[in-house]
Amino acid sequence: MTSIKLKTPHSGEYEQPTGLFINNEFVKGVDGKTFEVINPTDESVICSIHEATEKDVDLAVSAARKAFEGPWRKETPENRGRLLVKLADLFEKNADLLAAVESLDNGKAISMAKGDVAACAGCLRYYGGWADKIEGKVVDTTPDTFNYIKKEPIGVCGQIIPWNFPLLMWSWKIGPAVACGNTVVLKTAEQTPLSALVAATLIKEAGFPPGVINIISGFGKIAGAAIASHMDVDKVAFTGSTVVGRQIMKAAAGSNLKKVTLELGGKSPNIVFEDADIDNAISWVNFGIYFNHGQCCCAGSRIYVQESIYDKFIQQFKERAQKNAVGDPFKHETFQGPQVSQLQFDRIMGYIEDGKKAGATIETGGKRIGDKGFFIEPTIFSNVTEDMKIVQEEIFGPVCTISKFKTKEEAIKIGNNTTYGLAAAVHTKNLNTAIEVSNALRAGTVWVNTYNTLHWQLPFGGFKESGIGRELGEAALDNYTQTKTVSIRLGDALFG
Ligand code: ADP
């Protein structure tokens, strides 16, 4: 069996595929292995799904290779774009179901899941638009030479995605890869395989030829590692932890030197100046850390507030955090659902204990909510020092630190006091401060008087240890194309 009937409170009964999606068909794994998918809201088993091992990765890669060398290579850019736009339309048509499955499996609030699905459609449609606009150049060197430079697809792309935005990462990865003419083997995170498989049915419905997009479920150390070290995968794109990012790069280096792009962790500073609109700044700071339960690589987890407004700010921020509705992801008013898994829950609680032991003060939160499901109170630590683990390491949960700064120079210095460089934010009404600080912060994205306002038209990615390459926007096309120079000698004059 490669599907099962499931139910969500939002969508009612639906058909959940459980197989590996290879060559446009759902199949069992070669070794017949399965694994359980856990509901983070009540810790029950949702279902079991088929697990990919190295052998299945081989099958998916050869399907992708065959499609790349065959029908997909011959497809016109216009048609590649048309298929992506069709896929975007199908995301919109099936938005309620996709969002419901996302909430069931990941625990994210249904209103946020709906936002994710809308952004998936936006992203797929945007890259559909790029498919026939990938252009080359003619370069004059000598009068008897004609040179043209063209962009070609890289080939078979392995894509490994995390559990925090299962569908969104699916579309960020597949959109640009397919627009540029590549084929794909995408592995979902073992915690959240369900929505990607529902979305896989739409790939077939949209009309993509078999093998162009293959979706497999499995574990990082087995299927993920097999992709990263595969000799017939031309490129690997990974989103996840910095620790695993390093392993992916090593695996690429130790195999066929496949191209690597990485979108990794962060410990982003959110800096509030005394002239900011305080109410707005509090809303964005709150959204910056607690959106998606703090499970964002760009979460604004280090909050720095200028001395003169610190006391007022912390009081109001605390009150605001306490008002965040935490609970059942299927209730429309819920803002924060459970953390994704027992492992993540334990990691976050471990950081909270560590912060307490290091002498930081819990302003609010710090505890589990209820005794079923992985719910954690929105937590704020004050009285922190820069060397504490809770200030330096990515917690990936609803936990932030807050401290004061005196001057702009100090804000820039502490803002940059991290090995990461994914995002940052500045809150101020002063244009000079906004620009000066934004330019000085070493981060791939800087938000001014806002937070987390990502858009598929804008590049996203990391400075420093937050990654290599950029996703989204035109910049993502660079990740999925390679440059070919063709130099033609003109005339028939004898050489030499
Ligand atoms: P987290 O620690 O938040 O779960 P990971 O970086 O471990 O994040 O996981 C992100 C993705 O990377 C998942 O799809 C996971 O299966 C995969 N992964 C984990 N370890 C490896 C590995 N050694 N090689 C390739 N992929 C991996």
Question: Where along the chain do its domains lie?
Answer: 3-264+462-483, 269-448
Q: Which amino acid would we find at residue 426?
A: V
Q: Give the position, in ligand 1's atom list, of the atom nearest the Cα of 190.
A: 16
Atom of ligand 1 nearest to the CA of 396: 3
- Best of 160, 194, 219 for a ligand 1 pocket test (most atoms within 8 Å of beta carbon): 160
Parallel, antiparallel or unpaired: strands 481-489 and 269-272: unpaired
225: tokens are 């590692």
CATH architecture, domain defined by 269-448: 3-Layer(aba) Sandwich (3.40)
Ligand 1 atom with minimal separation from the 243 CA: 6
Ligand 1 environment, Cβ below 6 A: 160-162, 187, 189-190, 219-221, 224-225, 228, 240-241, 244, 247-248
- Cα end-to-end span (Å), the chain: 69
* CATH topology for the 3-264+462-483 domain: Aldehyde Dehydrogenase; Chain A, domain 1 (3.40.605)
Distance 310 CA to ligand 1 centre (A): 38
How many whole angstroms separate alpha carbon 338 and alpha carbon 348?
12
What's the 169 CA to ligand 1 centre distance in angstroms?
14
pLDDT tens per residue across all 496 residues of the chain = 899 999 998 889 999 999 999 999 999 999 999 999 999 999 999 999 999 999 999 999 999 999 999 999 999 999 999 999 999 999 999 999 999 999 999 999 999 999 999 999 999 999 999 999 999 999 999 999 999 999 999 999 999 999 999 999 999 999 999 999 999 999 999 999 999 999 999 999 999 999 999 999 999 999 999 999 999 999 999 999 999 999 999 999 999 999 999 999 999 999 999 999 999 999 999 999 999 999 999 999 999 999 999 999 999 999 999 999 999 999 999 999 999 999 999 999 999 999 999 999 999 999 999 999 999 999 999 999 999 999 999 999 999 999 999 999 999 999 999 999 999 999 999 999 999 999 999 999 999 999 999 999 999 999 999 999 999 999 999 999 999 999 999 988 778 7
CA-proximal residue: ligand 1, atom 16 (nearest): 220
Residue 82 C-alpha to ligand 1 middle, in angstroms?
32
Quote the ligand 1 centre to 189 CA distance (angstroms).
Answer: 7
The residue to mutate among 172, 244, 340, 396, having the most atoms of ligand 1 within 8 angstroms of its beta carbon, is: 244
The answer to whether 293 and 106 have CB atoms below 8 angstroms apart is no
* C-alpha–C-alpha distance, residues 181 and 212, integer Å: 9
* 3-264+462-483 and 269-448: identical CATH topology: no
Ligand 1 centroid to residue 181 C-alpha, Å: 26
- Quick one: CA torsion of 326, 92, 128, 424, rounded to 10 degrees? -20
Residues 305 and 310: their CA atoms lie apart, in Å, by 6
Which residue's alpha carbon is nearest to atom 21 within ligand 1?
220
Cα–ligand 1 centroid distance for 434 (angstroms): 36
- How many C-alpha atoms does 104 have within 13 Å on its Cβ side? 26
Q: Closest ligand 1 atom to the C-alpha of 240? A: 6
Whose CA is closest to atom 2 on ligand 1? 241
Of 457, 360, 453, nearest in space to 400 by CA: 360
Q: How far apart are CA 178 and CA 182, in angstroms?
A: 5
Closest ligand 1 atom, CA of 160?
A: 14
Nearest CA, atom 15, ligand 1: 220
H helix count then E strand count, the chain: 16, 22
Ligand 1 centroid vs 484 CA: distance in angstroms? 33
Distance 308 CA to ligand 1 centre (A): 43
Ligand 1 atom closest to 241 (CA)? 6
Question: Could you tell me if residue 296 is left (phi over 0), alpha (psi between -120 and 50 degrees) or otherwise beta?
Answer: beta
Does residue 263 carry a catalytic annotation? yes
- The residue whose CA has the least distance to atom 14 of ligand 1 is 189
Instruction: Supply 377's token pair.
Output: 């109170």
Which one from 102, 263, 363, 394 is the annotated catalytic residue?
Answer: 263
Query: Which residue's CA lies nearest to atom 24 of ligand 1?
Result: 225
Distance 281 CA to ligand 1 centre (A): 34
Minimal-distance CA residue to ligand 1 atom 27: 220
* Residue with CA nearest ligand 1 atom 19: 220
Name the residue with the closest Cα to ligand 1, atom 11. 162
Task: Give residue 340's pLDDT.
Answer: 98
